[in-house]
Amino acid sequence: MTTADFPAHSNDSDRMFIDARTIDPGAALRSTVCIIGGGVAGIAAALEFERQGVDAILLESGGFKADEATSDLYRGDNLGLPYTFADNCRTRFLGGSSNCWGGWCAPLHAHDLEQRDWVPESGWPYTREHLQPYYERAHPFLQLGPMNYDVAHWAGAIGRPDVRRIPLPTGRVQDHLAQFSSPLRLGSVYRRELHSARQVRTLLHANVVDIETAPESDRVSRVHVQTLAGRRFTVEARHFVLACGGIENARLLLASNKQRPQGLGNAHDLVGRYFTDHPRLTLGNVKLAPQWRRNKLYDVKFHYMNRAVAAGGTYVSAQFGLSREVQQQEGLLNSLLWFSSVFTGEGTAAADALIRMKQRYHGKADPSYSLLGDVGRMAADPLSVAAFGAARIFQPRALIKKVQVQIVCEPAPNRDSRVSLSDTVDALGMRRVQVDWRITDQAKRTYDRSLAIFADELRRSGVAEIELPEPLEGRPWPVTPALPWDNLGTWHHMGTTRMDDSPSRGVVDRDGKVHGLGNLFVAGSSVFPTFGANYPTITIAALAFKLADHIVKTLRAPVADVEVIASGR
């Protein structure tokens, strides 16, 4: 066995990106920090360690682009609601799921982090104000505009007659703003920085298959890494950061069970529980008043990355949501609502095939559909392809068939919704996941009441009449996806290693440290204890910067301070 310390200041640029398939079998690599996962959280943390002069090893399962053998490692069984959680919604190469996201960014609202009496098991260990400086650091990382989410400011800055705020007279409904990242493919955007890093070494094709703790120890000693070709080696570090995503974080903790049969951080049977996503449905039919039919600010088909809805190089969009007071009075979860025009050709087999062609370009190929099959579907119905393609590119109003309301709902924490391990194994010999996503009936009531209150507000303001659908409450969940494939969620995998200062209620504490382990941290949306209705990427990045700061502070603390931290005083 060989032991290798990566030099902190190497002039050998080839060592910054290292193909794990070239590492000597049995080698033991060492670094101060080991980051497992090269997605949003992993890259944000790695760049922060580089900036602060802390040497780190970043382990990424894939390479620089998608490949089928690595993508297969994500697959497993779905046991719950109709749900796709692997193909089409996650990519396993450098950049992680940033390789296939839409770029939507908005911080969580203040009340999303509060303990709410009407939302069971709600509340974060700190306030939204505490996250503010980390959100500000996430903005340049994601190449967003200024830290300004005021709808009035952006509507005024854009200054177009077709980008206007809708009046909301009672205050029960409010409008909110999101900004767009380009969207960044972080593995590409930060590839040069990672390549020229002096402190961070990035290992590609490096799959962690086990996190080892010494017997009767509260610290991780090393992680075991394996390539698809079977080459194995280890990485030792003072601190380890698990940043593999909302499903894989739980999977790896559960699978690391040689010293602790229940898995790591799982003394209270919490790892993998509280799994959730943001359910998304398209409901109702909207008849807009003539003066509001051309407004682009609130329609997802018109405001997404549209130069007409941008100012100073920042692309924005607006959505609606119920006020905190209404949520409390009605006992509702948070939600976001916006208009969604339906174009000619949309929903046909040919248009769906066209969408899948775009997904293939971003490394999200669905293996249940072949390339030749999709080409055939498009060739069989060229009019639908032409109409839908023209509508998405040129956005002519003449091709709108109807307008509906798309709603993303905050899910309530649900212990029975979970990720667990199956009895089947992947090419690395690791047990695959089973995903059993369950949504409480509180979400159904949130959909019904949010849409009804929104419809009443628009009627009062003279903006639109909304034809309400049959209520969801009391009925099974419909398979009525917001997108042209059968999926109820938005691919925001959250909650499986939830954060709480009490080990009986959370897997990690407020600093992201796994309870019962002194040097293992978790990054990403798996630590969210409650979820809001907003897009998680900017919060993932903010938490990664917060976690990196905490580890750096721990490393630089005097010995006496370290002892106090370790004792919990």
- What letter represents residue 561's amino acid? D
Model confidence pLDDT, tens digit, residues 345-370: 777 887 777 777 776 765 566 667 78
Which of helix, strand or coil describes residue 345? coil
Which of helix, strand or coil describes residue 554? helix
Which residues constitute the domain of residue 70? Answer: 1-74+92-139+181-272+493-569
Each residue's pLDDT tens digit in the chain (569 positions)?
A: 445 554 443 444 445 899 999 999 999 999 999 999 999 999 999 999 999 999 999 999 999 999 999 999 999 999 988 888 888 788 999 999 999 899 999 999 999 999 999 999 999 999 999 999 999 999 999 999 999 999 999 999 999 999 999 999 999 999 999 999 988 999 999 999 999 999 999 999 999 999 999 888 899 999 999 999 999 999 999 999 999 999 999 999 999 999 899 999 999 999 999 999 999 999 999 999 999 998 999 999 899 889 999 999 999 999 999 999 999 999 999 999 999 998 877 778 877 777 777 767 655 666 677 888 878 888 888 887 787 777 677 777 777 889 999 999 999 999 999 999 999 999 999 999 999 999 999 999 999 999 999 999 999 999 999 999 999 999 888 655 444 444 688 999 999 999 999 999 999 999 999 999 999 999 999 999 999 999 999 999 999 999 999 999 999 988 544 333 333 33
Residue at 202 is within a domain: yes
Q: Which residue has the tokens 């297969």?
A: 72
The total number of structural domains that make up the chain: 1
Lookup: tokens for 370: 């072949």
Residue at 164 is within a domain: no
Residue at 457 is within a domain: no
What per-residue confidence (pLDDT) applies to 480? 52
Residue at 560 is within a domain: yes
What per-residue confidence (pLDDT) applies to 4? 58
Lookup: tokens for 457: 């507000």
Render the burial of 29-45: b for 16+ CB within 10 Å, e for the rest.
bbbbbbbbbbbbbbbbb
Residue from 185, 171, 78 nearest 142 by CA: 185
Torsion of CA 319, 322, 327, 330, to 10 degrees: -130
What per-residue confidence (pLDDT) applies to 487? 64
Q: What is the DSSP letter of 109?
A: P
Residue at 399 is within a domain: no
What per-residue confidence (pLDDT) applies to 483? 47
Residue at 251 is within a domain: yes
Residue at 116 is within a domain: yes
Listing DSSP states for 188-245 in one string gives HHTHHHHHT-SSEEEEES-EEEEEEE-TT-SSEEEEEEE-TT--EEEEEEEEEEE-S-
What per-residue confidence (pLDDT) applies to 357? 78
What per-residue confidence (pLDDT) applies to 362? 56
Query: Can you point out the beta strands (E) in 1-117?
Result: 3-5, 17-19, 28-36, 56-59, 77-78, 104-105
Residue at 207 is within a domain: yes
What per-residue confidence (pLDDT) applies to 11? 40
CATH number of 233's domain:
3.50.50.60
What per-residue confidence (pLDDT) applies to 304? 87
Question: Which helix H or strand E contains 15, and what residues bound it?
Answer: none
Partners of 287 in the beta sheet? 465
Cβ within 8 Å of residue 558, ≥6 positions away = none
